[in-house]
Amino acid sequence: MLEKAGIVLTAAEKAEIEVADFGLGHLDSQGLELVTYINTDRYCAKELVLFPRQTCPEHLHPPVDGEPGKLETFRCRWGEVLLYVEGEPAANIQAVLPAGSEACYSVFHEIVLRPGEQYTIPPGTKHWFQGGAEGAIVSEFSSTSRDEFDVFTDPAIVRMPSVADGELQ
């Protein structure tokens, strides 16, 4: 999908694409593929890949170490992304809620991003997003990324397996 969108990765980057299923075991319906280009103590840039109708589950970025939560800008590069944030809910959302997890989605203000369109999500705002019929490639520009602190609505989600989880495997 990245190649189709004209986005070039090095061999090392291809080998390190992060595939997140959030511990739910249903990557196709709830998951996200990520390439982190750079993550410093001042800024972060990633490329996000969403398969068709693949959903990144609802979450927010809390304050960490006295700093406001992560501020992030999503820029659609290819395909279509359906983004939901806090605010006036759409009468009928275009996204299809992941079967069995419907109760873990609570914000329905709809923003549809097509190539060249972007949206900036304020810190501490609940949000989730889904790839359209063909999926999506989204560039994420943000403040420092500390994914391990993300707060998910679904209590079954583990964003980053802890050391203890690793030891138990």
Question: Of 101 and 143, which CB lies nearer to a second copy in the complex structure?
Answer: 143
Query: Does 61 engage in binding with a second copy (CB under 8 A)?
Result: no
Name which of 139, 55, 45, 60 is nearest 101 in CA terms.
Answer: 55
Name which of 42, 6, 22 is nearest 139 in CA terms.
Answer: 6
Beta bridge partners of 56: 129
Q: Say what the alpha-carbon torsion angle 34, 38, 40, 44 is, to the nearest 10 degrees.
A: -60
Candidates 17-25, 42-50, 126-134, 155-163 — which segment interacts with a second copy by CB under 8 A? 42-50
Q: Which of 1, 13, 23, 151 binds a second copy (CB under 8 A)?
A: 13
Token pair 């986005």: residue: 7
Query: Does 8 engage in binding with a second copy (CB under 8 A)?
Result: yes
Question: Of 29 and 142, which CB lies nearer to a second copy in the complex structure?
Answer: 142
Give the nearest distance from C-beta 148 to a second copy in angstroms.
19
Q: How far apart are CA 168 and CA 94, in angstroms?
A: 40
Q: How far apart are CA 140 and CA 115, in angstroms?
A: 13
Candidates 26-34, 40-48, 126-134, 158-166 — which segment interacts with a second copy by CB under 8 A? 40-48
- Per DSSP, the three-state class of 13 is helix
Query: Helix-strand-coil percent breakdown of the chain, rounded to 5?
Result: 10, 40, 50
Give the nearest distance from C-beta 75 to a second copy in angstroms.
6
Question: Of 55 and 142, which CB lies nearer to a second copy in the complex structure?
Answer: 142
Query: Does 136 engage in binding with a second copy (CB under 8 A)?
Result: no
Catalog residues that contact a second copy under the rule CB under 8 A.
5-10, 13, 37-38, 40, 42-45, 71, 73, 75, 77, 115-118, 120, 139, 141-143
